[in-house]
Chain A
Amino acid sequence: MVHINGKDIDVAGQSLMDFLNANDYEMGTFVVECNEEIIHKEDYKTYILRDGDVIEVVQFMGGGCGTSLMYRSIM
């Protein structure tokens, strides 16, 4: 299982690029972090998802100050 944005998903063995394309992520609008390290765009094709990987896919949203602790969704 790969832990992606808080959910366990059975995609180990797939490339990160295949996962992103299959799940409708719009290229250029997000950043991917794997096990606390950023994966750069040029590495999406070669990065193969492994059992136990913790992936965060994030983007910008509206926020001023502390608005998010209530909706804490990363970290």
Chain B
Amino acid sequence: MKNDTFTLGGKEFSSRFILGSGKYSMELIKAAVENAGAQIITLAVRRTNTKKKENILDFIPDNVTLLPNTSGARDAKEAVRIARMARELGCGDFVKVEIMKDSKYLLPDNVETVKATEMLAKEGFVVLPYMYPDLYTARDLVNAGAAAVMPLASPIGSNKGLATKEFIQILIDEIDLPVIVDAGIGRPSQACEAMEMGAAAVMANTAIATAGDVPVMAGAFKAAIEAGRSAYLSGLGRVLERGASASDPLTGFLRD
């Protein structure tokens, strides 16, 4: 288990917990990253506010890989613009493509996402596209040069868990890239289940940012993700179609 790592864009990661940095007070981000043991954290690109001088980068430990997202983009062209600006900020080539056209459900536009992934991969970005878990789109993303695929579990920020479980399983079974389950994971048990299914990693933000105790919940997710990964590597025990099977060979001995 010591060497159980996964690779994105040539970088090796031992933590399988990608943390989002939205909705926290700045002071809590550092504690959340540390308790999560996260090696990757997502960020957004926004207009600079010169009155409020806080710089989020001051609150993120140096050894953490930054994964800027393109949230706010409505099409591939806007996503590419945001990704270029993020790279110009000088924090590497990683980008999480997010393209949404509606703010009610925040569902990703798979067609535009494939276009943006292809354009950005050609420019040398390490592209992690947020996507609706559709096999054909996932294959298109592989061909477009994605470094991983990030299917949603349920609507962003909903904390509703693995609503798309069957379809994520298909991607895990069929796609030769890391599958990182993103969006909607609300509890450690759901993160654990995604890892048991064979996901390469889980991303969470709202579940931690809206928890009663942010650092404690970050630690709970870390433990759950590690447990799920171990279970996957072990192989789960079998399920009986019907009936029971004693795990104790001495069952009933008082009557024998």
Contact = CB atoms under 8 A, between A and B. Distances in A.
Interface of A: 5-6, 23-26, 29-31, 33, 36, 38, 40, 56-75
Given A36-B81, A38-B84, A67 B73 contact: no
B130 interface: yes
Nearest to A71: B46
Contact of A60 (B73, B74, B91): B91
Given A5-B48, A31-B88, A62 B106 contact: no
A69 B101 CA distance: 9
Contacts of A71: 46
B190 to A, nearest CB: 15
A29 to B, nearest CB: 5
Categorize the interface residue count of chain B. 35 or more
Contact of B103 (A5, A63, A70, A74): A70
A58 B209 CA distance: 24
Contacts of A62: 21-24, 26, 29, 43-44, 56
Interface of B: 20-24, 26, 29, 42-48, 50, 53, 55-57, 66, 68-69, 71-74, 78, 81-82, 84-86, 88-89, 91, 98, 100, 103, 106, 130, 156-157, 182-183, 203-206, 209
Contacts of B46: 58-61, 63, 68, 71, 73-74
B48 A29 contact: yes
Contacts of B103: 69-70, 72
A54 to B, nearest CB: 12
Contacts of B72: 68-69, 72-75
Given A31-B88, A60-B57, A62-B21, A67 B44 contact: yes
A64 B68 contact: no
A40 B81 CA distance: 14
Q: Is the interface of A mostly helix, strand, loop or mixed?
A: loop
A66 B47 contact: no
A38 B100 contact: no
A64 B19 CA distance: 8
Contact of A23 (B50, B85, B88, B205): B50
A29 B29 CA distance: 19
B48 A59 contact: yes
B232 to A, nearest CB: 24
A53 B78 CA distance: 18
Given A63-B42, A64-B20, A64-B156, 10 more contacts: A6-B47, A24-B50, A57-B48, A59-B48, A60-B55, A60-B57, A61-B44, A63-B46, A68-B46, A75-B78
B88 A65 contact: no
27 contacts: A6-B47, A26-B53, A30-B48, A31-B88, A31-B89, A38-B84, A38-B85, A40-B88, A56-B85, A60-B86, A61-B56, A62-B43, A63-B71, A64-B23, A64-B69, A64-B203, A65-B22, A65-B156, A65-B203, A66-B100, A66-B106, A67-B71, A68-B71, A70-B103, A73-B47, A75-B74, A75-B82
